């Protein structure tokens, strides 16, 4: 084994993958049949391999490829040095049509922060393996043995319009989710399968009155269960204010109903609910702007995401700042697999002031790259791994299968708006729409 001062990263491998994703509706359209991610592997001169999962769109793959020379030859311990290299060596770019075509919260322009997060995740996995410690201990130690997650409900169609998985493929087991009754049934199944103690609905899809009716139906079906509604900034300020009274006694928090810090600040004057965001505060600069507002301010809960905040350590810093200003903290999610979910779990375990159960899309995914199999939820929580490093080993055959699926699926940049036009050619994805 190499001495610690001689320990170096010798090779980076990036494998783009695609896995099946249901027809889930959101503010800018509908999920495509396949979600894109990539697996980043950093190998060292003593044969250890650290892994991380990150975005898999074409822009991210180009950014990772351009950053290869920044990481190879680097010590896995030099996390600060890596941050500085990437910060100054990776350019910020935007995919064409990013704002309209991607689901809100995807944050495609922050290439440097996203590359830093991917490299850091794999480096922390390496450090944990080398020291015989789980990532949460490398981050300072776990303050909880398991991390709570929330049921994540979506309005959805029964199946994709073009039957992309084959003409004889059956619709997914979740079925259609449009009416209040269907949304309640979706929540009941989610809770029965995973034991989730809180429930979130992705809104911004239908007339706001319909979405409010769905939340009222959920509150009646599950009395006392914390509820959240996320219109993804697809409601105008006027609409958000109009529906606030009906939601005041229903929701745990009101997530991104309307765009901009100014809009959220005005809304805060018309509701008793905490306002949560992963859209108007997505960087430290935006956080600084938010806390400068007088009075209650536009945001009371920050929904972090280590994939675009710059990594696990940056998110710990974010949590400490939120504690200073009396803000709640939880975590945003995108379509993801075990490496991402377990990284979130290690991070959440090492954040003392985690205020709310975290989001996860994981129940909507069926395929996996982990040799340990699908991540298990116990009473709505994921037990924090105690094995060295991340605690996820790649199933090489599964990675190859999902990489072949990536090559054949034809998707290179997520575009929920274009996908929705297959169902409704007049759909524009304009936001706010209601």
Q: Which contacts (CB < 8 Å, 24+ apart) does range 175-181 have?
A: 177/153, 178/206, 180/210, 180/213, 180/214, 180/216, 180/217, 181/217
Among candidate residues 114, 243, 332, 361, the one labeled active-site is 332
With vertex at residue 10, the alpha carbon angle to CA 7 and CA 12, rounded to the nearest 5 degrees, is 130
- Catalytic: 87? no
Pairing, β 328-331 against β 301-304:
parallel
Distances, alpha carbon 22 to alpha carbons 35, 74, 165, 174, in Å: 9, 40, 11, 9
Whose structure tokens read 């060292």?
44
Determine whether 332 is an active site residue.
yes
Return phi, psi of residue 209, to 5°. -60, -35
Nearest to 10 by CA among 39, 41, 38, 42: 42
The Cα–Cα gap between 431 and 422 comes to 19
- Please tell me which residue in 31, 156, 202, 336 is annotated as part of the active site: 202
Helix, strand, coil percentages, rounded to 5, for the chain: 40, 20, 45
Any idea what the Cα angle at residue 298 is, between residues 292 and 299, rounded to 5°? 100
What is the C-alpha radius of gyration for the chain, rounded to an integer number of angstroms?
21
Q: Which residues make beta-bridge pairs with 146?
A: 383
Residues 73, 246 contacting (CB under 8 angstroms): no
Task: Please identify every residue annotated as catalytic.
Answer: 202, 332
């Amino acid at each position: 084994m190499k001495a610690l001062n001689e320990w170096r990263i010798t090779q980076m491998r990036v494998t783009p993958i695609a896995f099946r994703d249901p027809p889930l509706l959101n503010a800018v359209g509908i999920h495509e049949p396949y979600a894109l991610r990539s697996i980043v592997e950093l190998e060292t001169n003593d044969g250890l391999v650290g892994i991380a999962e990150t975005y898999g769109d074409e822009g991210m793959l180009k950014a990772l490829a351009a950053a290869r020379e920044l990481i190879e030859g680097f010590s896995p311990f030099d996390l600060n040095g890596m941050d500085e290299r990437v910060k100054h060596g990776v350019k910020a770019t935007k995919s064409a049509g990013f704002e309209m075509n991607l689901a809100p919260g995807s944050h495609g322009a922050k290439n440097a922060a996203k590359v830093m997060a991917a490299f850091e995740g794999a480096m922390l996995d390496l450090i944990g393996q080398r020291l015989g410690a789980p990532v949460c201990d490398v981050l300072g130690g776990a303050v909880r043995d398991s991390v709570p997650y929330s049921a994540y409900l979506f309005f959805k169609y029964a199946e994709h319009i073009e039957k992309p998985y084959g003409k004889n493929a059956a619709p997914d087991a979740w079925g259609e989710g449009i009416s209040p009754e269907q949304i309640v049934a979706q929540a009941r199944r989610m809770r029965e399968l995973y034991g989730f103690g809180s429930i979130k609905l992705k809104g911004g899809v239908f007339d706001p009155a319909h979405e409010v009716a769905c939340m009222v139906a959920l509150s009646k079906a599950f009395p006392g269960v914390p509820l959240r509604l996320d219109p993804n900034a697809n409601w105008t300020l006027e609409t958000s204010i109009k529906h606030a009274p009906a939601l005041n006694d229903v929701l745990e928090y009101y997530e991104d109903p309307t765009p901009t810090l100014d809009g959220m600040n005005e809304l805060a004057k018309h509701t008793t609910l905490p306002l949560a965001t992963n859209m108007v505060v997505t960087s430290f600069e935006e956080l600084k702007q938010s806390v400068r507002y007088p009075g209650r301010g536009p945001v009371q809960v920050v929904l972090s995401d280590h994939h675009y905040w710059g990594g696990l350590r940056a998110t710990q810093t974010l949590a400490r700042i939120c504690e200073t200003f009396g803000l709640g903290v939880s975590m945003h999610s995108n379509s993801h697999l075990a490496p991402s979910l377990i990284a979130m779990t290690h991070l959440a375990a090492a954040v003392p002031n985690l205020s709310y159960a975290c989001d996860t899309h994981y129940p909507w995914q069926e395929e996996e790259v982990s040799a340990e199999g699908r991540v298990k939820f116990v009473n709505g929580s994921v037990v924090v791994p105690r094995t060295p490093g991340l605690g996820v080993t790649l199933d090489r055959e599964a990675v190859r299968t999902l990489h072949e699926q990536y090559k054949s699926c034809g998707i290179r940049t997520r575009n929920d708006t274009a996908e929705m036009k297959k169902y409704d050619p007049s759909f524009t994805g304009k936001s706010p729409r209601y």
